[in-house]
Structure 1
């Protein structure tokens, strides 16, 4: 056969379902097959006929035990664990004769067992008449899609290979112990992060449509940012007003155009703490015990190293529910001296109330900036991105035969990729958060580690709404309820298979616990909450402080199981973990991420960092020197737009057909309810990829 004919031939054989080295393919429809065949030249058609003739009558089924030869070996992870090599269990392994150009070089297949061992029996004669096989192993991980009726369709994706000997004439060959660099943990960080070598590529990839979505979202504003940066380099620095006006109009800019002062009001301040991107837990005010209308929000920034340039005090906001609205009534700032950088620096506490006029407005602005930074590092980057990544790495390392893979992996498929970008884009020595906020690189790292030390799946449920207008909390409760029904239905259908492959759950759980950071409970919570009756403290969204405050600190993530068969209550624990992971990969991320242009689309309203005013005064809006410099301002607006407007992989669209159709239909059936609560359920992605 000529080399020119091999490419079209191999493509056609692959489409026909004839096994090729790249794996198995779906069959062509008759009309598609006819169209492909008609496109071939005479020589190629003859080659197809010659190659397919022997396949008209399929090879009779053979008893594998009777095959004369066997290839053996063991697959383990590249990195060892505390007890030595870690087995790569339940991977598919194929044995091939690697003669180039010939599709009929498949010899046999098998799976690694629980300890990573494999044995593949084969017939050397399958290499062809007069040919001794040149052995090669191919490794595959499972993939899946769902049919409309919920049935699973499995497929396999090639992840690696290993060359064996040429012209092997023996009846046994041992490949030995093979180390695969597969979903390895990064040893350079305390967080459970995926290791991606500087010159390497991650063991996964974005869906093709995501790139187009990114281009469509970013292209309109990319030129705006580049023009601003060029003007700045040339000394023609645009004014803040011009810089802002060159971007699309954000929600707060529109509000100020239509009704000046509306976006800076006390009522709007409280509304965004309830329902904006800042939406978070509101504890009761511990200083007024028993008062159901008094709330508190606290940001402890003095615990971290700062750059001395930005003004980032401790922020203690007291709020009150008045006629269905949450209003700020007091803001206490723990102010460092300008230039102070050390964590725990001496602070001066100052209290501001609405009677303080301009100082009250400045204090609210500082509180908004604190909430923005806390949202980016906590609600968004920590609780969603990095928190979900630790479940993604553990799941990909361990879940292959267990049906939990079908439930979880659609929601874990791209988070490690976007987080890899965040390593330099948002954090690190030159990341935007490091440059634009008061926190140094060390301060950002410590804050993220403390946040990750406070996240656990056990006992989590969304907090109760504080009022009728608490749309975020109502939407969270509805989404959590529907997820519970979805997970329960999945386990009712696949529970027996989940139990049968419980060893994979044990290894998944062990990886989660071993690689999570130590639990973090600050001194204040140790003194006021852990082991005590503290009715003001909302516990539903937090880890169990009574357990996690122990010394030495336990791991932040709780174990699901420690045995190869589920013990009483452990199946329910696994269901809770699945519900938790899907919630943060979908609903919680969508709420924090998709509202960024609304709440962080105006530089003067909210940013990541404000600089000190003249003579150490509080940063006020009329002092432009306290705002981000122009290069950081245009970068901030570009980032906010990009994050909010780049969306692909929607739950309801289910582009890859990997999400169970039951969840899609459940959410679609409640779209009107979500819409009334301020969420367009069509904009919620099935995974974190932006």
Structure 2
């Protein structure tokens, strides 16, 4: 008689437990056990519980290959009673302890076959049962995770026309928290008469009181300093869209800024050309937006300004705007605005630059470059990598909730009444902007060290996104390299891993649409390529998303940045007033809708998994656990350093503090 101890852990989340009958069958190299019900005295499978059960066999089963888990209904409960199984640990008669990760929801009638926690590649499976299980699992996952093309010129996504699988849905707690956040935010706005109001704002002061209690130190700072030029420049380095400006080596011919125009704003005795040669002139150029038809409002096109803005790092090391042209082609009706113009002309010019930048940020740098690309990585991972594959184990946590949040974004944010569809470009315009931008997305542009170097921003002062981001990139890269080198001993291991090659091929096909010019790998030939690509994926879905997402509520205050502007920009200088500024802004109802959505998207919810945390125990080897611990220690040291620096800054930069970074795109 051989006795096997089977330790079962039920998830801690709400409603994870079950009253149903749970059965297991142990499958080994020398046979399999009988189907055994897991039933101890008292209540089994309560949320958060771990219990041990006994499975007896006539003789040893040899090496345990699989654990089959079945769920049958409890006769007295006619309603569905899902169960979340976290993991099963089997102790053999020989004393070996084998982890079988699960982390899946089971419905009545479901049958799961779990592999052990040891990561293996396809060519390492040494038993027909394991080989067949691997093939069967991928076939099943490809039937669930199917590609859908919303538009043939933007990244493909998960086919969410049917109900999402339970294992990629929000937890009950997250769904409840988002619901309550949205509900109570809406109730406050209705109570104050803001929700749906078609009235225009009467003063700047009124805009400071959209909410009663929803305020942070940063949002309060933005409300007080939004009109200042140095803060305008600061935002292109450290707000929600820090990836758009670049060093200016020569002025584009369609931006005829002269020395006479900007001399008063440069160092005394200098010139524009001298400052360009010193590397102190930078440019924002929204030419990608030029010619996109805007949204119609009451039969008239809304104003959209694909403008240019020139910046200068002054002797005080501040990035200052010194010239703005709001349309691409210079003309008498498209003047170059300067800081010496009237206060309202200059303010309006900056507002229109921020309007274009915000639409570019939301559609391209936020939605497409993080959310949509992450979904492509995620779907390919589910389709091409079985759960025992080392890259699956390494990455799957970094895709938690990404499919569901993207599905919601397509329905809500981009829906007919969604905030993005209400923007100046509208749904069609933003999609066209993404279409134009995807061919310009390169693999190197998603790798932060290359991105910074290509834009010539290595020495710009007070660029905290760069400083913190490069440190994070290095930490993630070291972690990824250490993890991958455990499982890939040679470049030949990479080349003959057919599942890994299928994975990167699907990403190349569905993320960048087979664009060879993107520099995305079509296949992997060596370990370094895998390390670099996986580093980029982890950085993009954690740190980069935090940088472009977490400050939305703080920086998207209606005066500082609005998705929608109602009146055309000035075409002649000296004719605007503060009343013009107020009339240019969206009405109260539209403004608060943007603000409410930004609040929801900037919150942290209780089941957040911070970068470096791996609560789901997927690795059953001691070496990965050591590497994860080292990764956590390095992130902790960086967090302390960032907090120390921030304590000395007037404007702390917190978005890339590892303590504030979620490990996946989950909101």
With structure 2 as the length reference, what TM-score do the two structures score? 0.68
Matching residue of 2:399: 412
* Counterpart Cα distance in 2 of 1:237 and 1:469: 37
SS of equivalent residue, structure 1 residue 303: coil
Indicate if the aligned counterparts of 1:613 and 1:625 stay in contact, CA closer than 8 A. no
Matching residue of 1:505: 500
Matching residue of 1:278: 241
Q: Deviations over 1:651-682 (max 9, x none)?
A: 25555466944433321122122332622321
SS of equivalent residue, structure 1 residue 433: coil
Matching residue of 2:438: 452
Matching residue of 1:668: 636
Q: Deviations over 1:320-374 (max 9, x none)?
A: 111311111111111799xxxxxxxx99532111111231221111112222222
* Counterpart Cα distance in 1 of 2:26 and 2:509: 40
Matching residue of 2:650: none
Change (3 A) 1:188 1:268: closer
Unaligned runs of 5+ in 1: 1-8, 40-51, 65-89, 103-140, 165-174, 338-345, 520-552
Change (3 A) 1:391 1:199: closer
Matching residue of 1:651: 611
The answer to which of 643-652 and 580-589 deviates more is 643-652
Matching residue of 2:411: 424
SS of equivalent residue, structure 1 residue 649: coil
Indicate if the aligned counterparts of 1:183 and 1:396 stay in contact, CA closer than 8 A. yes
Change (3 A) 1:153 1:449: farther
Choose from 528, 535, 540 the match for 1:579: 535
Change (3 A) 1:144 1:603: farther
Q: CA deviation at 1:256?
A: 7.3
* Counterpart Cα distance in 1 of 2:570 and 2:506: 52
Matching residue of 2:598: 640
Do structure 1's residue 354 and structure 2's residue 339 form an aligned pair?
yes
Matching residue of 1:605: 560
Change (3 A) 1:407 1:578: same
Do structure 1's residue 686 and structure 2's residue 663 form an aligned pair?
yes
* Counterpart Cα distance in 2 of 1:357 and 1:236: 27
Do structure 1's residue 204 and structure 2's residue 168 form an aligned pair?
yes
Change (3 A) 1:506 1:199: closer
Change (3 A) 1:614 1:591: closer
Indicate if the aligned counterparts of 2:238 and 2:463 stay in contact, CA closer than 8 A. yes
Choose from 246, 257, 263 the match for 2:226: 263
Matching residue of 2:81: none
SS of equivalent residue, structure 2 residue 410: helix
Matching residue of 1:185: 147
Do structure 1's residue 622 and structure 2's residue 579 form an aligned pair?
yes
* Counterpart Cα distance in 1 of 2:467 and 2:326: 31
Indicate if the aligned counterparts of 1:315 and 1:367 stay in contact, CA closer than 8 A. yes
Change (3 A) 1:407 1:456: farther
Change (3 A) 1:329 1:230: closer
Larger radius of gyration: 1
Please, what is the CA RMSD of the aligned residues? Answer: 4.4
Alignment of 1:189-588 (within 5 A): 189-190=151-152, 191-202=154-165, 204-215=168-179, 217-218=181-182, 220-227=184-191, 232=196, 241-242=205-206, 244-247=208-211, 248-249=214-215, 254-255=220-221, 262-285=225-248, 286-287=250-251, 288=273, 290-300=277-287, 301-307=289-295, 308-323=300-315, 324-334=317-327, 349-358=334-343, 359-400=345-386, 401-435=388-422, 437-458=423-444, 460-462=447-449, 463=452, 464-496=457-489, 499=494, 502-518=497-513, 554=516, 556=518, 558-561=520-523, 567=525, 570-588=526-544
* Counterpart Cα distance in 1 of 2:18 and 2:566: 63
With structure 1 as the length reference, what TM-score do the two structures score? 0.66
* Counterpart Cα distance in 1 of 2:577 and 2:531: 49
Change (3 A) 1:508 1:159: farther
Unaligned runs of 5+ in 2: 1-16, 28-34, 47-52, 76-83, 90-97, 112-135, 252-272, 620-627, 647-652
Indicate if the aligned counterparts of 1:335 and 1:350 stay in contact, CA closer than 8 A. no
Matching residue of 2:102: 155
Change (3 A) 1:160 1:481: same
Task: Report the number of matched residues.
Answer: 527
Indicate if the aligned counterparts of 2:550 and 2:601 stay in contact, CA closer than 8 A. yes
* Counterpart Cα distance in 1 of 2:68 and 2:601: 42
Indicate if the aligned counterparts of 1:509 and 1:560 stay in contact, CA closer than 8 A. yes
SS of equivalent residue, structure 2 residue 443: coil
SS of equivalent residue, structure 2 residue 516: coil
Indicate if the aligned counterparts of 1:412 and 1:687 stay in contact, CA closer than 8 A. yes
* Counterpart Cα distance in 2 of 1:661 and 1:152: 19
Q: CA deviation at 1:481?
A: 0.7
Change (3 A) 1:615 1:26: farther
* Counterpart Cα distance in 1 of 2:473 and 2:565: 36
Q: CA deviation at 1:290?
A: 3.3
SS of equivalent residue, structure 1 residue 598: helix
The answer to which of 572-581 and 277-286 deviates more is 277-286
SS of equivalent residue, structure 1 residue 378: helix
Indicate if the aligned counterparts of 1:426 and 1:432 stay in contact, CA closer than 8 A. yes
SS of equivalent residue, structure 1 residue 317: strand
